[in-house]
Structure 1
Amino acid sequence: MFKIIYIISFLMSVLLFYLCNDMTQTLNINSEFGVVGGNGNLGLFPWIFLFPFFGFFVYGTFKYSMLTLTKLAKAKKIMMLAGSGVLSFIIVINVYNQASELRKKIVEVSPTYTRESELSLLNFWSNSIFFNFFTFLLVILLTILLSAGMTMLKSRVPRA
């Protein structure tokens, strides 16, 4: 039963990231009205309904990776820890750079904003940067990183 719920949660989490990405407001640079906003970030609306599935997906990924990693040798655990850490770092840096570039572009074309610090990185123009395949992969990698770290700590602590 857990596997079925986990698979459903995985599919709903993929749908969540797809909807958030799809609901990204387009940045109309050549619009006669300039850059305009809206009623908030519509791309975050799916989180209201699909967050429980996402939470269960993260929990299930953590549980399954803990079960898998406890069976592996210490060297393989270290490889998983290092690999997921390096890949996570690369994705985070890439996402941050993309969001910073978009924020610069918005400030350049928008009469509403005069400084980059006035505009947050997560806005209704940047959903496609924060909710895509790579950030979904980042969630999985960070979960594996956490579970690998936990299994390394469990193997070090002597049991009473």
Structure 2
Amino acid sequence: MKKMTSSLFRIIYIFSTVITIGSFTFANLTAVSPTHNSGGNGNIGLLGFFFLFPFILIFVALSISYLHAYLYLKLKKSSIRIITSGSLIGMTLIISIILIRAFKLKSVLAEVNPIYRGRTDIPLFTIYSNAVFFNFFTFVLLLLICFFISGMMTLKEKN
């Protein structure tokens, strides 16, 4: 019974991973160039996140669980510290890059797109910013968050 439950969790994890990657890819592919005047149908790229969010949560929870088990059983405390601090540095770097790209996009939108000319309150979550916020680096950021949480949990248990 335990083997069947473990196999079921692995299948659910793989399925959730595919759904999560698909959601990020769909949001990235639906990004529009800042020079294109959009119609006003909303941000269709976020539609996948709204409906598939439970699978994304399952992906995060099982990633943390599997990483925690691996770190606890296979690695020494020093290696866990290196992984945890490396993931924190990686998270900081990716968040910095994303914010820089987002503010550059804001200034480009203010210059190029007639909808935003002369405005100072340009929103960051628009159809133009999907490529900035939902890309490969954001997915890696999600994985680094899972590594960081797992590492902190493992360090706490090993003390």
With normalisation by structure 2, the TM-score equals 0.88
C-alpha offsets along residues 49-82 of structure 1, whole Å, 9 cap, x if unaligned? 2212111110110000110111221100100111
C-alpha offsets along residues 15-38 of structure 1, whole Å, 9 cap, x if unaligned? 111111111122226xxxxx4452
Task: Kindly indicate whether residue 26 of structure 2 is the aligned counterpart of residue 23 of structure 1.
Answer: no
Please identify runs of 4+ aligned residues in structure 1 that moved more than 4 A. none
Take 2:155 and 2:34, find their aligned partners in 1: how far apart are those partners?
45
CA drift of 1:103 comes to 0.6
Match of 1:32 in 2: none
Take 1:150 and 1:60, find their aligned partners in 2: how far apart are those partners?
14
Give the number of the structure whose residues are more often helix, by fraction. Answer: 2
Runs of at least 5 residues in structure 1 that lack an aligned partner in the other structure: 30-34
CA drift of 1:146 comes to 1.1
Task: Kindly indicate whether residue 111 of structure 2 is the aligned counterpart of residue 108 of structure 1.
Answer: yes
The structure-2 alpha-carbon separation of the partners of 1:137 and 1:61, relative to structure 1 and needing over 3 Å to count, comes to same
Take 1:103 and 1:43, find their aligned partners in 2: how far apart are those partners?
19
Take 2:57 and 2:87, find their aligned partners in 1: how far apart are those partners?
20
User: Of the candidates 40, 45, 48, which is equivalent to residue 43 of structure 1?
Assistant: 45
Runs of at least 5 residues in structure 2 that lack an aligned partner in the other structure: 1-7
Take 1:59 and 1:125, find their aligned partners in 2: how far apart are those partners?
30
The structure-2 alpha-carbon separation of the partners of 1:22 and 1:36, relative to structure 1 and needing over 3 Å to count, comes to closer
Task: Kindly indicate whether residue 75 of structure 2 is the aligned counterpart of residue 68 of structure 1.
Answer: no
Size of the aligned set, in residue pairs, is: 150
